[in-house]
Structure 1
Amino acid sequence: MKRAPFLMIAAPLMLAGCSLAPKTALPPPPVPQGWPVGDAYLIESEAALPILSYKQLFTDARLQSLVEQALANNRDLRTAYANLAAARAQVRVSRAAQFPAIGVSASGDYADRGGTGGSGGAGSSFALQGGVTAFELDLFGRLANANAADRDRALATEAASRTVRLSLIADLANAWAAYGADRDLLAIAQETATNARENVRLTKARLDGGVAPRTDLRQAEQILATAEDAIAQQQTAIAQDENLIRLLVGGDVDPALLPGSLAEVTPAIAAPPAGMQSEILLRRPDVIQAEYLLRAANADIGVARARLFPTISLTGLLGFASDALSSLFDKGSFTWSAGGDASASIFDFGGRRAGVAVSEAQRDAALASYEGAIQTAFREVADALAVQGTIAERVRAAAANTEAAADTARLSDARYKGGVDSFLASLDAQRSLYAARRSEIATGLLLVQTRIALFRALGGDSSAGSAAP
């Protein structure tokens, strides 16, 4: 008989475990098995793609130092880690609901009725009780599926934090490269302004000597004003680049960690290795997040279905009660009680069945989001590969264009000074050279940005979530 209360409490623990959630079936990736190939694409080998890390691709020690600072101080990343900690705690909350709530209570009272009449006199009572204060028998898996849904959402939150980290690394690399390119553009503008000042001086001298018309001087002054405006714009761009890097890093930036030109950036950011298959996209953090949200939606169906069935709760208490504190723990003072409660809704105008329909529709939406995440990832990688497949030719063409424009400007200037060509022809050649040099910098920056885009699109950085608390 003394074992009866313990058996009544322990037996229901063996009855739970039934789940009404459908089994999660992930669809095959809705993308081709290989990347597109052709004139605009790189022809990749079919070797397995090695796991990527930003340290493998971003080889410059200065950039690596900035990335490490950003991973330690960036506020968006801290927010993501805080959300992850909250999601993990929520899993423990829902997990605790699957176990009995154990409580203990103690009481004591003393009453003095004045010593008159038949009911007079003093009396006391003491009690100490402990046991299961509340326990829902999870016969239909409602609590288990709720815990599974919270666990999958926590894993989705962890993947989201990896997405934030991955984006932070890529954004910082892009800002670092843009700073180097803007330094080059500033140097071009300053050199152009220096040459324009010399042209203004020479043209003014020719005007004073009656050799050149006043229009030549005004055109030379236009070139100078344009170059001075470009200097101011590039100084603003460099300041904004520094502000962005400071924001991403989460603090002050040592100027020694910034590149002096795009020529320092290009060899410091390598292209991802060849040999990729489209299954690599299943490792992208956003795809992983979508998968766990799909699993969580699937578990929510089990929760909604379980609400169609009765709810059964048990309680059990055991303890001691006595009129005297000294005899509270005597054998005859032992008491116990056990009870149960069952509730079921008979008619709710279809509300619970509508809840099941809602969870099933949400599961279908999560499935579509999962497939859409894979398709979006495939497109991003394919677009980056399309650029990378032709960028080398564009870089070569831009360099050749700059070389030809420089030679044209030199020859046009000589012909103008020799009286063969007009000053307008010389100015046009200078404008073409300025545009060609800027275009060459933009193409070189695009080369670096494409490599960074591939790193981001492939879901690189194998340790993307390792820094999370």
Structure 2
Amino acid sequence: MKKHIFPGLIVAAVLGGCSMAPTHERPTLPVPDAFAGKTNTSAKKATDIGWKEFFKDVRLQAVIQTALENNRDLKIAALRIEESRALYGIQRADRLPTINAAADGSRARTPADLSSSDASTISTRYDVGVSLASYELDFFGRVKSLSDAALSTYLATEEAKRSAHISLVAEVAKAYLAERAFAEQYALAEKSYAAREESLKLAKMRFKVGATSALDLAQYESLMQSAKVSLVTLARQRAQAENALAVLTGKPLADLPPAQALSAQGVLGDIHAGLPSELLNNRPDLRQAEQKLMAANANIGAARAAFFPRIALTGSYGTASSSLSGLFESGSRAWSFAPQLVMPIFDTGRNINNLDLAWARKNIAVAEYEKAIQVAFREVADALVGRKFLVQQVDAQDAVMKAEAERLKLSEARYNSGISSSLDVLDAQRQLFSAEQALVQARLLQLTNSIDLYRSLGGGISDTLPFVEKK
């Protein structure tokens, strides 16, 4: 038995490395060779900046840490890795023989009319030994290709978890800053409502003594009610933002450090963008798409190998006897060896269609990979454009707010001196409130854009799990 099986296993080990899968080559980048505009080459790359270095606000750091520990989507992504690792282990096991130990006993009665001795007989048989299950000699790399496909799928799942990690950090940060923006706008609305309520009281007093008209009083009333609408709206939006943040963090937030204003966040904005080709190694979602492409490529090898013969080995070695006491006596050795060769001849086009299917799925994977690269390029390009103009927008909006504050001050002075009407004061109050709200929104846009640039360049990848090396 051993003389027959072991040479076959040696041949399988030597030829098992053969593969009929096409050689994997990265498609040509469907994007320009460089990003538009100039970037500071002396600045740090996003991949070298951990999220704790990027986000300076200790309250935000605590929120992100809570999310990384409790977010359900991230937990699901981690469990997907375990699932894919197990599936790869199952597929990889087919590359080595499966040997089982077995003990068997049987007792049977044969009727006289079926017995060669014309008398009923009772036979007994006991077997103990090891058996080799049907093991395929992988001459044409079918099993290896399936194993490679499973490995690439496993690695793609690993990259998906990293991508989820980076995206979660960015989404939590943006949700937190959105809640802070609503809080600041709510505080401004509260201040505006209190001021307009006081103005309405004064207008009522002036109306009673005939110092102002009913029209002016109605305008003060309208302005106060508008401020109340803004106050209630912002209260609702802030509560909803808090709920969204609680879902991302996976648990209610408590015992957090004091909050900082948007203007004091200190988020890093000066990041070196690098070249578009660097995104292929820096972004987990692109590496995930490439692993899926490699899996589709390996499946082509398995589909090609299906056109060639399959050789499988089945055998057993042990002892057999008609009595338990005779199992290990001299001469009780028993063995069997049953090689099998299967050659496809007519399968109604099954193998051809499987190969066509494998090629179609590879072409789909190529298109998805190229699309992922284009999306990544656009995300970086948009964030770079935003970085260029949002600084100017915030500065301009700040100047508008200061000008409106000065205008209100002068309008109130002219009104108190009897030079202008209350309409000028009311209009100045409305414009100042709008300018203050717009400034908060502009600062939020600037911070959100910085986060998008950091994420789109693969920022925070150094904080994810180590790479899984192909063995």
Bucket of the pairwise TM-score, normalised by the shorter protein: over 0.9
Asked whether the equivalents of residues 319 and 336 of structure 1 are also in contact (C-alpha less than 8 Å), the reply is: yes
C-alpha change, 1:123 and 1:355, in structure 2 (3 Å) is closer
Quick check: 1:277 aligned with 2:272?
Answer: no
2:49 to 44, 47, 52: 52
The 3-state SS of whatever aligns with 1:3 is helix
In structure 2, distance between residues paired with 1:468 and 1:250: 26
In structure 2, distance between residues paired with 1:442 and 1:20: 57
Listed as ranges, the matches of 1:16-31 within 5 Å are 16-31=16-31
In structure 1, distance between residues paired with 2:250 and 2:43: 39
The residue that corresponds to 1:206 in the other structure is 206
Asked whether the equivalents of residues 21 and 299 of structure 1 are also in contact (C-alpha less than 8 Å), the reply is: yes
The residue that corresponds to 1:393 in the other structure is 392
Asked whether the equivalents of residues 15 and 139 of structure 2 are also in contact (C-alpha less than 8 Å), the reply is: yes
Asked whether the equivalents of residues 182 and 237 of structure 2 are also in contact (C-alpha less than 8 Å), the reply is: yes
> What displacement does 1:123 show?
5.6
> What displacement does 1:79 show?
0.7
Quick check: 1:91 aligned with 2:94?
Answer: no
* More divergent stretch after superposition (17-26 vs 335-344): 335-344
Q: How many residues are aligned here? A: 462
1:302-334 CA distance string (max 9 Å, x none): 111111122221111111011232221123111
The 3-state SS of whatever aligns with 2:334 is strand
> What displacement does 1:214 show?
0.2
In structure 2, distance between residues paired with 1:142 and 1:113: 46
C-alpha change, 1:78 and 1:88, in structure 2 (3 Å) is same
C-alpha change, 1:308 and 1:460, in structure 2 (3 Å) is same
> What displacement does 1:358 show?
1.8
In structure 2, distance between residues paired with 1:92 and 1:113: 46
Letter in 1 for 2:247: L
In structure 2, distance between residues paired with 1:456 and 1:413: 47
Asked whether the equivalents of residues 319 and 332 of structure 2 are also in contact (C-alpha less than 8 Å), the reply is: yes
In structure 2, distance between residues paired with 1:180 and 1:6: 71
> What displacement does 1:245 show?
1.6
Letter in 1 for 2:415: Y
> What displacement does 1:33 show?
2.9
In structure 1, distance between residues paired with 2:397 and 2:106: 95
Letter in 1 for 2:90: V
Listed as ranges, the matches of 1:35-434 within 5 Å are 35-37=35-37, 43-45=39-41, 49=45, 51-110=48-107, 119=119, 124-254=124-254, 256-257=256-257, 259=259, 261-264=261-264, 266-267=265-266, 269-274=267-272, 276-282=274-280, 283-434=282-433
Show structure 1 runs of 5+ residues with no match.
none
C-alpha change, 1:258 and 1:366, in structure 2 (3 Å) is farther
Asked whether the equivalents of residues 40 and 270 of structure 2 are also in contact (C-alpha less than 8 Å), the reply is: no
> What displacement does 1:94 show?
0.6
The 3-state SS of whatever aligns with 2:311 is strand
The 3-state SS of whatever aligns with 2:338 is strand
In structure 2, distance between residues paired with 1:126 and 1:392: 86
TM-score normalized with structure 2 length: 0.92
1:389-409 CA distance string (max 9 Å, x none): 122211111111001101111
TM-align CA RMSD: 2.4
Asked whether the equivalents of residues 162 and 461 of structure 2 are also in contact (C-alpha less than 8 Å), the reply is: no
1:422-441 CA distance string (max 9 Å, x none): 22121111111111111111
C-alpha change, 1:186 and 1:113, in structure 2 (3 Å) is closer
The 3-state SS of whatever aligns with 1:18 is coil
Asked whether the equivalents of residues 216 and 423 of structure 2 are also in contact (C-alpha less than 8 Å), the reply is: yes
Asked whether the equivalents of residues 314 and 341 of structure 1 are also in contact (C-alpha less than 8 Å), the reply is: yes
> What displacement does 1:120 show?
6.8
C-alpha change, 1:81 and 1:2, in structure 2 (3 Å) is closer
Asked whether the equivalents of residues 272 and 454 of structure 1 are also in contact (C-alpha less than 8 Å), the reply is: no
Letter in 1 for 2:129: Q
C-alpha change, 1:9 and 1:255, in structure 2 (3 Å) is closer
Letter in 1 for 2:77: A
In structure 2, distance between residues paired with 1:123 and 1:102: 28
Letter in 1 for 2:271: P
Asked whether the equivalents of residues 46 and 277 of structure 1 are also in contact (C-alpha less than 8 Å), the reply is: no
In structure 2, distance between residues paired with 1:104 and 1:348: 36
> What displacement does 1:386 show?
0.5
C-alpha change, 1:252 and 1:468, in structure 2 (3 Å) is farther
Letter in 1 for 2:74: L
1:273-316 CA distance string (max 9 Å, x none): 33622233111011111111111111111111111122221111
In structure 1, distance between residues paired with 2:7 and 2:335: 13
Identity fraction in percent:
35
In structure 2, distance between residues paired with 1:2 and 1:314: 12
Letter in 1 for 2:208: D
> What displacement does 1:119 show?
4.4
The 3-state SS of whatever aligns with 2:48 is coil
In structure 2, distance between residues paired with 1:109 and 1:43: 81
* More divergent stretch after superposition (457-466 vs 181-190): 457-466
The 3-state SS of whatever aligns with 2:339 is strand
The 3-state SS of whatever aligns with 1:97 is helix
The 3-state SS of whatever aligns with 2:317 is strand
